[in-house]
Structure 1
Amino acid sequence: MKIDINCDLGEGVNIDDCVRDAVLMGFISRCNIACGGHAGDDATMALTVANALKHNLAIGAHPSYPDRENFGRKSLSLPEERLLQSIAKQIDALSDIAARASTTLDHVKLHGALYNDAEADPKLAQAIVAMLNRCYPQLTVLGLANASMEQAARKLGQPFLREGFMDRRYLNDHQLAPRSQTGAVIDEFALCRQQTMCLIRGETFSSIEGKPLRFTVDSICLHGDNPQAVHIAARLHQALYEADIRICA
């Protein structure tokens, strides 16, 4: 068996943060690089792309609401056209840097509040995917399995990867439990490992409300901003190896 492991990177503020990110790259197969909306600038994008190439990672854009003050974790009420222009501007910024490194982007994954809002709102998801389909038809969308972005991508024929989370609990409707809900974040590695294996193998696991859930995903998200990210990544890498599951994009 095989599984893709993705991680949101380039979200720091200096070169030292990029060095820390590079340590994670040995344990993943895909990176989503912040491109100016919530974090990231030309220097961090260029260094993150260079490091990703050294590790043979699939490289993607990680656009967000244009809100560096709140790290893209606050929902913004923006006119649709302005939001779509912001997303495109962020993708273009990283695409230009990738081109200077003689590579191209593989995918796009929304960040933070924009990710959650698009997955919960079919109209917003449709608008975003329609723009991506029009302007970036070659980019695969990485989004939550069984939610609005997947539905919109399937409808428009945009390539899509179903994402699952090793360290987040799910609601009964397959949406992620909000971080504000008690128990929404799984901080025990044994439970992270168990949920990861269930998502890869299509085995049953429990929602945060105790309902049995069963579905498969194409990619597992590893949160790079967790202080224990490198430790978790190394342990997950070893656990997958022992289960004869290969990590690849």
Structure 2
Amino acid sequence: MSTNNKRTDRNLTVDLNCDFGEGYGIYSFGQDAELLQYVTSVNIACGFHAGDPHTIHSAVKQSLAAGVAIGAHPGLPDRLGFGRREMVVSASEVYDFVLYQLGALRAFVQAAGGELNHLKPHGALYHMANRDKAVSEAIVQATLALDDRLMIYGQSGSQLLDTAQSAGLTAVSEVFADRAYESDGSLAARSKRGAVLHDAQQAARQAVAMVAQGSAYTPEGEAVEVLANTICLHGDGPNAALFASRIREELMQSGIKLQAPERP
């Protein structure tokens, strides 16, 4: 994967997003309450990999009260594997999965007086859409069928962003401050030494470099070109809140404005 979109504007802005509402029933996941104070947009689980009517309703109310942009986070129907295992599914199945979940979340958002802002696939569906044109087209077509003003969040340089742009949707390029990259722009495998940044300050410095210079880094320290419209803050680590606060602070101290992308 690659991107030729350098950030050259002086008044730099970036969105901070996190996955949200990924519990169900009596079970919770991540650090929703802690992260909400640091982000400008959230991606709410829509019921397949996580989420149920009650958690969706609660997540929507919390997000609207915090003033953050709300996005859908549809996944594969694999609750046991938390949507992180790839499945053999057809493009028509992906279309139905995504449209079903989008509709469920939008109902709660509209009933609460809000507006759905974007879509970001979850887990295995996200990675499948990054590289598989048929999967990315199914996601984009489901989005268009519901609301052609919804934006698509996808990994910098991915097939999903190319497909969204070709269909006339606003594509929002996502990066990960706490992950190292390969020279082709893909994320380094977690099994590789140095693939995950465990130091919050190092992640914060990379976040600034991604926005201001368009550069991420390999485990060996080689610069890799990326486009950072939004930065994902992971909520499932023990130090998630610390990472989020350091990244937000470093960006603001560098003169970078934090703001969710606006619907076209």
Alpha-carbon distance change, 80 to 47 in structure 1, aligned in 2, over 3 angstroms: same
Alpha-carbon distance between aligned partners in 1 of 2:155 and 2:217, rounded to the nearest angstrom: 17
In terms of fraction of residues, the more helix-rich structure is 1
- 2:226 aligned residue (198, 204, 215): 215
- Secondary structure in 2 matching 1:141: strand
User: CA, structure 1 residues 234+212, in 2 after alignment: closer, same or farther (shift >3 Å)?
Assistant: closer
Matched, 1:80 2:91: yes
Report the equivalent of 1:108: 119
Instruction: Report the TM-score when normalising by structure 1.
Output: 0.93
Q: Which stretch shifts more, 157-166 or 12-21? A: 12-21
2:202 equivalent to 1:191: yes
Q: Which moved more, 1:180-189 or 1:18-27?
A: 18-27
* 1:49 Cα deviation from its structure 2 partner: 0.7
**Which residue of the other structure, out of 28, 44, 54, is the alignment partner of 2:55?**
44
For 1:248, the equivalent position in structure 2 comes to 259
SS for the counterpart of 2:42 is strand
Match of 2:148 among 124, 137, 154: 137
The list of structure 1 runs, each at least 4 consecutive aligned residues, that deviate by more than 6 angstroms after superposition, is none
User: CA 1:16 to 1:236, structure 2 compared with 1: closer, same or farther past 3 Å?
Assistant: farther
User: Could you tell me which residue of structure 1 aligns to residue 245 of structure 2?
Assistant: 234
Amino acid at match of 1:67: D
Q: Does 1:156 align with 2:167?
A: yes
TM-score, normalisation: structure 2: 0.88
The answer to whether the 8 A contact 1:201-1:216 is kept is no
Q: Distance in 1 between matches of 2:31 and 2:176?
A: 22
SS in 1 for 2:67: coil
Kindly tell me: are residues 127 and 86 of structure 1, through their superposed partners in 2, closer, same or farther at Cα, counting changes over 3 Å?
A: closer
Q: For CA contacts below 8 A with separation 6 or more, give which structure has more relative contact order.
A: 2
Which runs of 5 or more structure 2 residues have no equivalent in the other structure? 1-11
Equivalent residues of 2:75, 2:121 under 8 A apart = yes
User: Alignment length, in residue pairs?
Assistant: 249
Q: Provide closer, same or farther for how the CA distance between residues 229 and 132 of structure 1 changes in structure 2, counting only shifts above 3 A.
A: same
Q: Could you say which residue in structure 2 is the equivalent of 1:33?
A: 44
Structure 2 letter corresponding to 1:119: N
Deviations 1:163-198 (A, max 9, x none): 111011112211222333333221111221121011
Q: Which amino acid aligns with 2:24?
A: V
Consecutive unaligned residues of structure 1, counting only runs of 5 or more, are none
The counterpart of 1:179, out of the listed 161, 185, 190, is 190
